[in-house]
Amino acid sequence: MTTAPSVPTLRVENLQTHFPTRDGIIRAVDGVSFEVNAGEILGLVGESGSGKSITGFSILGLLDPPGHVAGGSVLFKGEDIVAAAPQRLRQLRGARIAMIFQDPMMTLNPVLRVDTQMIEAVRAHNKVSESAARDRAIETLRAVGIAAPEERLKSYPHQFSGGMRQRVAIAIALLNKPDLIIADEPTTALDVTIQGQILYEMRKLCRETGTALIWITHDLSVVAGLADRVMVMYAGRIVETGSVAEVLEQPRHPYTIGLIGSVPGGTARGHKLFQIPGMAPPPLNLPPGCRFKNRCGFADAACDTMPEMAELSPAHWARCHHPRPAQLAANLAEGGVA
Amino acid sequence: MLVFIIRRLLQSALVVAVMSVLVFVGIYLIGDPLAILASPEASEIDREEIARALGLDRPLWEQYMTFIGSAFVGEFGKSFVFGQPAMGLILERMPATLELAITATLMAFFIGVPLGVYAGLRHESAGAQAIMAGSILGFSLPNFWVGLMLIMIFAVQLGWMPASGRGPTTEVFGLQLSIFSAKGWHHILLPAITLALSKCALIIRLARATAREVMLMDYVKFARAKGLSERRVIGVHILKNIMVPVATVTGLELGALIAFAVITETIFSWPGMGKLLIDSITQLDRPVIVAYLIVVVFMLVAINLVVDILYSVLDPRVRLGGAQ
Amino acid sequence: MSQTGTTQTAAPAAAAVSETPLLRIWREFAESKLALFGLGLFIVSLLAALLAPWIVPQNPYDLATLDIMDSRMPPGSLSGDNMVFLLGSDGQGRDMLSAMLYGLRISLFVGVVAVGLALAIGAVAGIAAAYIGGRTDTVIMRIVDIQLSFPAILVALILLAVLGNGVDKVIIALVTVQWAYFARTARGAALVERNKEYVEAARCLGLKRPRILLRHLLPNCMPSLIVIGTVDIARSITLEATLSFLGLGVPVTEPSLGMLIANGFDYLLSGVYWISMFPGIALTIVIVAINLVGDRLRDVLNPRLKR
């Protein structure tokens, strides 16, 4: 991290995203702060409902109403884009910050040909002729490994397989050579071999172009093979963050430990898979203090106050009153927490 | 595609054949045309004379066979009342009905779609609530009563529009049409509005419901994530998806409108085939009723076919003929 | 995203556990002021129609009380025997308000009875088609398809041309053109229900077929049938009015609202507006009321729209 430039590609500070409902406000993202630098891949991990996808949509200003960013700032290369005019945000979207969605079957418009959907993305940001835009589309499709792109461009999305559609979606994200890509579980819906290929290609593309990448996933094994840094979210808050090697091998937060223990293949052969007891707190009724305390074997009276993020070793932070000792953590993952 | 069309035509021929039997037998049961056609003072011999001239003295099945035999060469018998070929009478009045129904459909479509899409996209705004309230009223208002009230307001009280008739027509491609002259518009406007009103309400509701569904789709969000202008997101990505069900339903409703024109034509004395049907029913003019129904069945079949083709054009996922 | 959606409903659902389904439906129904307004309007119309003989100023069918001198009096004028024509009088000197309330009786009666019969026939046919399947299903659904592909107004028109005028005949025509909607809906709902466990369980218990159909399948098809049925009452009333307007519906001796409107048509061009206008307004009010109720019921009873 010593090579990081002075201004990070993205800097999120104390982000608050709220969904007002009839029964109260859902604080889907509650004070999240982090940075991503050029060429860096950040894995954002959490179970569904942890607020990880909402974090991604908050950055781009693509929340479904009534959801909105209620506080904090999102600085893209130093520019606050939460406060930016809608027109400015539109200029950045797809051009400087691109997004890839979870379900490739749903991301492409079913009634428009692929060329229409790619050319419009180029021409929304560049004053180029249609044929120039088409050339760019062909080139990008080839870069993501689609054979005979000239012909495939004339197809409709339903004529592609799921994996191919996701490649097209990735190609659309890459069209304008963005500085940051936010990928929201893009390989979850695909089968494992295709997932592997796409992960490999994404990593290569980021390294070559210096694009920063935020990879949102619930799958720790994906993060292990792809990311430089990892950030674990639970109930709208970050609970642990650090380099992939540190967090996955020496997790300090009981939740991260439980998460690692529940990954098949993460434990030694013959050991029973671990399951974190209980359920995530209802988002409308979050407990005061540590949000993990009702599922945590180490919780005590201290946990009734919200712990702050603390740097336990260089660049490795966790939000816990009782962080587990680094050397014990790997064993705990096998034995269970409770 | 060709296979699909041929198969559909065969199916349609079957429907028409079944309908012809039902209609013929059904109409046969309607009173005795002689009672109306012959004057009360006519002698028994006169009556038999008339019956023989019209072929009414023969048994039902024989009448049907004659009917079918001549139907195949495009002959549907002569109107009891007009003494002219029934099919000719219908076809003569068909352009007027089609013009009215198509004008009404287009009005309903071009007013209904923008309002419905707006109400769907801004579904919490006051404008959207007003549009929805209006649409409930629109399909609740009894069609024929709306016609009467329009006549009362615009023809009787204000004197802006004529209360009845078709006015002068212009010949276009051999068809007599009203919509190419200002005078013609004067005449067609009130009946077309009457006919369009409930369909417009239907289209508004459908467009709104579809818009609400489509705007939540991932591909709309993705289009926004690409940095497209809101105009392109709504005008292309959302609208094209809304068009699939809306255009299909609008097309199918054209058939219903042609049928419903029966009432509008009666109110506004619009010289179409619907008015002819009502006149023929009151006068028990059997050949004309049968000819009307055959024509309408043909039109419904044709509309269905066109709509199916249109559907496959609008939605690339649908390919006619089943096989991909 | 989806997770926040599902968990947020968990809390209120837990609070409502003790609520009966009927109470829940009512609570959700009552959340819409517009729907309550519609229901109120419908109840008032219903009461007005039922109590018509006791609240009208004049018996419109009693020809002895009519005076031809009172014909076409504008609203608010006095009759020969000092009765106020609140909404004017018609071509025979009949009080419009009285005629309308009696007309409303007929319109509502025809609408409700026709829908009731159509619902019963359609539900039985649809559920039988779904449950028995095979050829029965094919035959029933083919008839339904053909029926639905033909505009209702034309079928009713031709049918009445064959049958002639009369309240009973109008009802027959309305049932004929409407039963197919119910059949299709009931079949759809029954097909979904048929494969559920409780039907399987009932079958394993050795229950007789008609009993399974009536006691188990029918109640579960009811919500969708009720939604269609409500809106269909409005449709039936409109259709009846239209047919009567064309002179092919109820007889002149029992004028429904549609017939009253038709009677006024003759005088409309000479500026006598009230004979057509007021029955039309009454008709519109009733139909709007029913549609408001039906719309809300659709939202409340349709599980597909639940968020």
State the average pLDDT over residues A309-316. 88
Whether residue B58 is predicted with pLDDT greater than 80 in this model: the reply is no
CB atoms within 10 A of CB C220: 17
> Which residue do the tokens 């419908």 mark?
C42
Contact B23 C158 (CB under 8 A): yes
Evaluate whether A286 touches A50 at the Cβ level (below 8 Å).
Answer: no
Contact B262 C157 (CB under 8 A): yes
Tokens of B145: 């009563």
Residue C11, pLDDT score:
41
Q: What proportion of chain B, given as a percentage, has pLDDT over 90? A: 23
Q: Which residues in chain A touch residue C8, judged by CB atoms under 8 angstroms apart?
A: 21, 23, 26, 282-284
Contact B256 C151 (CB under 8 A): yes
C-alpha C60/C-alpha B267 separation (Å) is 27
Residues 22-41, chain A, touching C (beta carbon < 8 A): 23, 26, 28
Mean pLDDT value across chain B? 81
Whether residue B179 is predicted with pLDDT greater than 80 in this model: the reply is no
Residues 8-37, chain C, touching A (beta carbon < 8 A): 8, 10-12
Whether residue C273 is predicted with pLDDT greater than 50 in this model: the reply is yes
Residue C1, pLDDT score:
39
CB atoms within 10 A of CB B269: 14
Span B263-307, pLDDT tens digits: 999 888 888 898 899 888 888 777 788 788 888 888 888 888 888
Span C234-250, pLDDT tens digits: 999 999 889 888 888 88
| Cβ-proximal residues to C146 (8 Å cutoff; 6+ apart), any chain | B15, B18
Contact C288 B136 (CB under 8 A): yes
CB atoms within 10 A of CB C81: 9
- Amino acid (one-letter) located at A72: G
CA distance C103 to chain A (A): 45
CA distance A98 to chain B (A): 7
Tokens of B97: 């009905």
Q: Which residues in chain C touch residue B280, judged by CB atoms under 8 angstroms apart?
A: none
Residue B154, pLDDT score:
86
If pLDDT is split at 50, 70 and 90, which confidence band does C307 have? very low
Mean pLDDT value across chain A? 85
Whether residue A49 is predicted with pLDDT greater than 90 in this model: the reply is no
Closest-CA residue of chain C to B32: C162
Residue A265, pLDDT score:
58
Q: Which residues in chain B touch residue A172, judged by CB atoms under 8 angstroms apart?
A: 222, 226
Coil, strand, or helix at residue A238? strand
Residue B31, pLDDT score:
57
C-alpha A179/C-alpha C43 separation (Å) is 65
Half-sphere exposure of B244 (CA within 13 A, CB side): 21
Whether residue C13 is predicted with pLDDT greater than 50 in this model: the reply is no
Q: Which residues in chain C touch residue A54, judged by CB atoms under 8 angstroms apart?
A: 1, 4
Contact A49 C11 (CB under 8 A): no
If pLDDT is split at 50, 70 and 90, which confidence band does A243 have? very high
Residue B79, pLDDT score:
79
Distance of alpha carbon B208 from its chain centroid, rounded?
A: 24
Residues 17-56, chain B, touching A (beta carbon < 8 A): none
CA distance C11 to chain A (A): 8
Angle between helix axes C257-268 and C274-301 (nearest 10 degrees) is 140
Span B150-167, pLDDT tens digits: 888 888 778 787 777 777
Whether residue A214 is predicted with pLDDT greater than 90 in this model: the reply is yes
Q: Where are the alpha helices (DSSP H) in chain C?
A: 2-15, 21-30, 33-50, 52-55, 96-132, 134-149, 152-163, 167-194, 197-204, 209-211, 218-245, 257-268, 274-301
State the average pLDDT over residues B16-25. 71
- If you write DSSP's letter for every residue of B281-300 in order, what string do you get? HHTT-HHHHHHHHHHHHHHH
Contact A156 B316 (CB under 8 A): yes
Contact B148 C268 (CB under 8 A): yes
Does B48 or B31 have the greater pLDDT score?
B48
If pLDDT is split at 50, 70 and 90, which confidence band does B320 have? low
Size of chain C, expressed as the number of residues it contains: 307
Residue B35, pLDDT score:
62
Cα B16 to Cα B290, B302, B307: the distances in Å are 12, 12, 19
Span C39-75, pLDDT tens digits: 999 999 888 888 877 877 777 776 666 666 666 667 7
Angle between helix axes B143-150 and B182-214 (nearest 10 degrees) is 140
Residue A258, pLDDT score:
86
Does A331 or C168 have the greater pLDDT score?
C168
Residue C10, pLDDT score:
40
Contact C287 B140 (CB under 8 A): yes
Q: Which span out of A284-298, B163-177, C110-124 was modeled with the highest average pLDDT? A: C110-124
Whether residue A336 is predicted with pLDDT greater than 70 in this model: the reply is no
C-alpha B180/C-alpha C67 separation (Å) is 51
Span B209-245, pLDDT tens digits: 999 989 888 999 999 999 899 899 999 999 999 998 9
State the average pLDDT over residues A120-131. 92
- Amino acid (one-letter) located at B60: L
DSSP state of A93: B
Q: Which span out of A179-183, A198-202, C195-199 was modeled with the highest average pLDDT? A: A179-183
Q: pTM for the full model?
A: 0.82
If pLDDT is split at 50, 70 and 90, which confidence band does C200 have? confident
Tokens of C270: 């000479």
Q: Is A19 exposed, middle or buried (0-12, 13-18, 19+ CB in 10 A)?
A: buried
Contact A48 C12 (CB under 8 A): no
Distance of alpha carbon B116 from its chain centroid, rounded?
A: 22
Tokens of B236: 């292309």
Whether residue A183 is predicted with pLDDT greater than 80 in this model: the reply is yes
If pLDDT is split at 50, 70 and 90, which confidence band does B36 have? low
C-alpha B63/C-alpha B160 separation (Å) is 50
Q: Which span out of A248-252, B82-86, C220-224 was modeled with the highest average pLDDT? A: A248-252
Span B90-124, pLDDT tens digits: 888 888 899 999 999 999 999 999 999 999 998 88
Contact A90 B227 (CB under 8 A): yes
If pLDDT is split at 50, 70 and 90, which confidence band does A208 have? confident
Whether residue C8 is predicted with pLDDT greater than 60 in this model: the reply is no
Q: Which residues in chain C touch residue B199, judged by CB atoms under 8 angstroms apart?
A: none
Tokens of A90: 């539109």
Q: Which residues in chain A touch residue B242, judged by CB atoms under 8 angstroms apart?
A: none
Q: Which residues in chain A touch residue C12, judged by CB atoms under 8 angstroms apart?
A: 23
- Amino acid (one-letter) located at C68: I
C-alpha A89/C-alpha A97 separation (Å) is 10
> Which residue do the tokens 């005449």 mark?
B187
Q: What angle do CA C274, C279, C280 make, to 5 degrees?
A: 95
Q: Which residues in chain A touch residue B128, judged by CB atoms under 8 angstroms apart?
A: none
Q: Where are the alpha helices (DSSP H) in chain A?
A: 52-60, 86-92, 104-107, 114-123, 130-143, 149-152, 162-174, 192-209, 220-226, 244-249, 254-261, 326-335
Whether residue C136 is predicted with pLDDT greater than 90 in this model: the reply is no
Torsions phi, psi of A98, nearest 5? -115, 160
